């Protein structure tokens, strides 16, 4: 049973809202972040690396452009990925993927300690290693693993980032490669919950949705899903509509604009940058699509925050 769990939503005002109707900004008894902004290394860009002790409150929904590992040392944390909440306790490791919308809520009765690593891979070998699990392990509860080896690698990355000793970059590159390899190996043994009790058509549609979710920043045409599934586009489009009640284009459009809205709420990127990140041909095309979906323009939304 989830104790005092507050369901998060992201409204048009960009405020984090709970069932009780008030925001709960995160607080920590102790927090280190030797990497707290983008740092380019050989394997990719590290966005965040750190450790928190005694977290209280919540981290609101935010879009990922990176892989992230959350390793729980003690306590209980509720990690929500794309609307699905997983309960994590001591020893659990939760892996999240590029394209995910992620939020974290700390248990009020059992405040958590956890380590975290967020890295946007650019190494082609590591990208190809991780790509299959991104498609197959979409559900939040199918990405919970337990591994002392992975836990120790994450702790070593945090220590290296904090110490900045000789050959720092070489060590971090090596540790990240190991982290990816051991994660893939471990996830292969995880029971995929969504495969139980669903038809072949439903399973295929689930994989399509997960492909769109995790490639939201790189898809430039929806026919790309054909390469992943080896079916032609018309067949996939008709199947998706029959099973989900929405067209592929509707799902892709909604998912892309949902990510755009979270980026606008974060305020880290301009409207033009967000349009480019999400593959719109121009900021004008993006603004028109945004207004059609949300009823106001991106400029009006940002100005009204």
CB 183 within 8 A of CB 168: no
In the chain, list all ranges with CATH 2.60.120.280.
9-187
Asked if residue 292 has pLDDT above 80, the reply is: yes
Distance (Å) of CA 146 to CA 71, 84, 89: 9, 20, 10
Q: Which of 99, 60, 101 is nearest to 81 (CA)?
A: 101
Interval 127-185: pLDDT, tens: 989 987 877 776 777 789 999 999 999 999 999 999 999 999 999 999 999 999 999 99
pLDDT over 90 at 34, yes or no: yes
Other CB atoms within a 10 A radius of the CB of residue 166 amount to 7
The Cα 75–Cα 109 span in angstroms is: 9
Q: What is the pTM of this model?
A: 0.72
Delimit the CATH 1.10.10.60 region(s) of the chain: 197-303
Cα angle 91, 94, 96; round to 5: 165
Q: Would you say domain 9-187 falls under CATH 2.60.120.280?
A: yes
CA distances from 225 to 130, 236, 274 (A): 17, 9, 23
Has residue 16 got a pLDDT over 70?
no
pLDDT digits (tens, 9 = 90+) for 64-105: 889 999 999 999 999 998 888 889 999 999 999 988 889 999
Q: Per the CATH hierarchy, to which homologous superfamily does domain 197-303 belong?
A: Homeodomain-like (1.10.10.60)
């Amino acid at each position: 049973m989830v104790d005092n769990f507050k369901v998060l939503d992201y409204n048009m005002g960009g405020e984090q809202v709970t069932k009780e109707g008030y925001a709960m900004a995160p607080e920590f008894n102790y927090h280190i972040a030797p990497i707290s902004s983008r740092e380019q290394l050989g394997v990719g860009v590290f966005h965040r690396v750190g450790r928190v002790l005694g977290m209280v409150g919540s981290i609101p929904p935010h879009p990922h452009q990176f892989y992230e590992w959350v390793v729980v040392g003690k306590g209980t944390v509720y990690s929500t990925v794309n609307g699905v909440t997983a309960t994590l306790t001591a020893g659990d490791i939760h892996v999240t993927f590029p394209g995910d919308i992620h939020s974290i809520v700390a248990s009020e009765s059992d405040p958590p300690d956890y380590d975290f690593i967020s890295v946007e891979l650019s190494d082609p070998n590591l990208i190809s290693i991780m790509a299959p699990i991104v498609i197959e392990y979409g559900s939040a509860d199918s990405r919970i693993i337990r591994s002392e080896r992975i836990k120790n690698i994450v702790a070593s990355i945090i220590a290296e980032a904090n110490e900045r000793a000789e050959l720092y970059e070489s060590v971090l590159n090596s540790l990240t490669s190991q982290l990816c390899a051991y994660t893939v190996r471990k996830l292969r043994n995880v029971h995929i919950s969504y495969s139980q009790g669903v038809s072949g058509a439903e399973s295929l549609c689930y994989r399509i949705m997960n492909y769109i979710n995790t490639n939201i920043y790189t898809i430039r045409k929806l026919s790309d899903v054909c390469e992943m599934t080896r079916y032609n586009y018309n067949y996939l489009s008709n199947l998706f509509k029959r099973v989900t009640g929405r067209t592929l284009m509707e799902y892709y459009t909604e998912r892309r604009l949902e990510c755009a809205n979270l980026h606008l709420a974060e305020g880290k990127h301009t409207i033009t940058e967000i349009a480019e990140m999400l593959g719109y041909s121009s900021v004008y095309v993006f603004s028109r699509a945004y207004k059609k979906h949300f009823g106001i323009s991106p400029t009006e939304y940002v100005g009204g925050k």
